[in-house]
Structure 1
Amino acid sequence: MRLVSIASGSSGNCIYIGTETTHLLIDAGISAKRIEQGLSQLGIRGNELSGILITHEHSDHIGGLGVFSRKNEIPVYTTRETYEGILSAKNIGDMPEGLHREIFPDVEFEIGDMRISPFSIDHDAANPCAYRVGCSRGSAAVVTDLGNYSQYTINHLLGLDALLLEANHDIRMLETGPYPYYLKRRIMGNRGHLSNECAGRLLGELLYDGFKKALLGHLSKENNYADLAYETVRLEVTMGENAYCGDDFDIAVADRSTMSEIIYI
């Protein structure tokens, strides 16, 4: 199984995860052209995808979905409420009929040889979810756009081989930055986005000897930068109550506009 970020950031998100026979996207928040280019680098054509898993209906997660779906006719997996939000979005055009597959948080399903486990996240969207994806060789998860986490979140992420985890903002940069007060409150709220510090604490809850890779994603362009996210998460892991240090595991940062390294599981 391979996991790679085609793009991850506040301006657009698109993650590939797949096996030799089953190819999935998690979100399609960049242009269809960029999605096709990213897949091409992985040796995959758009019409070879088995499905697109959508986390929620915000534009940075569905921006390219309409064009890409109309061209390639790929099934789109979302909660009912998320799909209603997609249909009401004004910037993606018409969605092809017959492609929606309704999913439910905490109800596992299969696509090809992959097991998909969606679970709820706290974000200001209709019915958002994150995804844990597994196959016979291991499991990975993509978890972004959550204002906080709980034991419920942790339970869904235990025993992973790899994780793409939101590290959206540095709290001090956000507090002193140019955003208006209402937007700062939204981002830092319980249904906003995960800070570097919170990402590090969550990662510390999940580490075990079999964990292989953490990829930090969905970084804010205005309120974060890669080195700061990396160092903060690493420090939080080291200072946490777990038995591990930040240097014990491979941690990298996904770029907002270019593909990440390929994580093999």
Structure 2
Amino acid sequence: MRFVSIASGSSGNCIYTGTEESHILIDAGISAKRIEQGLNEVGLKTSELDGICITHEHSDHVKGLGVLARKYEVPIYATEGTLNEIKKIKGLGEYPEELLHPILPDTEFALGDLTVKPFHIDHDAADPVAYRIQSGNKSVAVATDLGHFNQYTVDHLLDLDAVLLESNHDLRMLETGPYPYYLKRRIMGDFGHLSNENAGRLLNCILSGRLKHILLGHLSKENNIPELAYETVRLEIDMGDCPYHADDFHLAVAKRDEMSEIISL
């Protein structure tokens, strides 16, 4: 099983995971051209995709969807609420609506030899989800756009081999930055985004001897710095109650304009 971030950040998100037989994307929030280039670097053609799983309808998660659907007729999976919002986005252009497949949170579905389990997240979108993907005894997850986390979130992120987790903003940068007050409140609210500190606290709840690869993703361009996210999360892990230390894991920041290294499980 392989896992790689093609792009992750407030300006666009697209994650690939798959096996020798099956290949999926989590979100398509960058141009189709960049997605194609990323897949080529993994040794794949876009036409080999078995599906695109969409977390929610915001543009940084669906920007390239229309072109991929028209050009390659890749099936698209999302909750009904998300699909209804996607249909309203005129910028995606025309594409075959029969490619849209509704899914339910906490209900698994199969794409080839991959088992995909969507689970609910709190974000200011119609019906957003995160995804856990399993093949054989290997499991990965993509969890971004979390306003907050609770035991339900933790339960769905236990016993992973790799995870891409949101580390969106530094609280001090956000509080003192140029955003208007209402936007700061939205980002910090229960339906906004996870801070660096909260990303570290969530990791403390899910760390295990099995989890070897952690990618911090969906960083804000205006309210975060990769080095700050990395060091803050490391500190939260090292200072937390869990028996693990940051050096026990491969921890890296997924970049907005570069692919991460390919994680092979």
The TM-score by the shorter chain falls in which range?
over 0.9
User: What are the Cα deviations for residues 140-168 of structure 1, in whole angstroms up to 9, with x where unaligned?
Assistant: 00000011000000000100000000000
Paired with 2:168 and 2:90, the residues of 1 have a C-alpha distance of 26
Code of the residue aligned with 1:240 in structure 2: it is G
Tell me the equivalent position of 1:219.
219
Q: Is the 8 A contact 1:87 1:95 kept in 2?
A: no
Greater mean alpha carbon deviation, residues 177-186 or residues 243-252: 243-252
Query: 2-side partners of 1:5 and 1:133: how far apart?
Result: 15
For structure 1, the residue ranges without an aligned partner over 5 or more in a row are none
- State the match for 2:123 in structure 1: 123
The CA deviation at 1:239 is 1.0
Identity of aligned residues (%): 64
Deviations 1:17-66 (A, max 9, x none): 00001000000000011111111111111111000000000000000100
- The 5 A counterparts of 1:60-139 are 60-139=60-139
Answer yes or no: is the 8 Å Cα contact 1:118–1:132 preserved in 2.
yes
| Corresponding position of 2:171 | 171
SS at match of 2:81: helix
In 1, the alpha carbon distance for the partners of 2:218 and 2:208 equals 24
**Using the alignment, how far apart are the partners of 1:95 and 1:141 within structure 2?**
28
TM superposition score normalised by structure 1: 0.99
Choose 133-142 or 88-97, whichever is displaced more.
88-97
Q: Secondary structure, in 3 states, of the residue corresponding to 2:4?
A: strand
1:248 and 1:65 mapped to 2: Cα distance? 37
| Conservation of the 8 A alpha-carbon contact between 1:32 and 1:67 | yes
Partner of 1:48: 48
Separation in 2, partners of 1:153, 1:32: 31
Helix, strand or coil: the match of 1:91? helix
**Which letter does structure 2 place at the counterpart of 1:48?**
E
TM-score by length of 2: 0.99
AA aligned to 1:110 is A
Match of 2:15 in 1: 15
Amino acid corresponding to residue 227 of structure 1 in structure 2 = E
**Which letter maps to 1:87?**
K
Q: Does 1:31 align with 2:31?
A: yes
Shift of 1:91: 1.7
- For the residues of structure 1 that align with 2:95 and 2:225, how far apart are their CA atoms? 35
The CA deviation string for residues 211-231 of structure 1, in whole angstroms up to 9 with x for no partner, is: 111000000000001110000
Give the aligned CA root-mean-square deviation in angstroms. Answer: 0.7
Work out the CA distance in 1 between the residues paired with 2:182 and 2:93: 30
Measure, in 1, the Cα distance between the counterparts of 2:45 and 2:31: 15
The structural deviation recorded for 1:89 is: 1.2
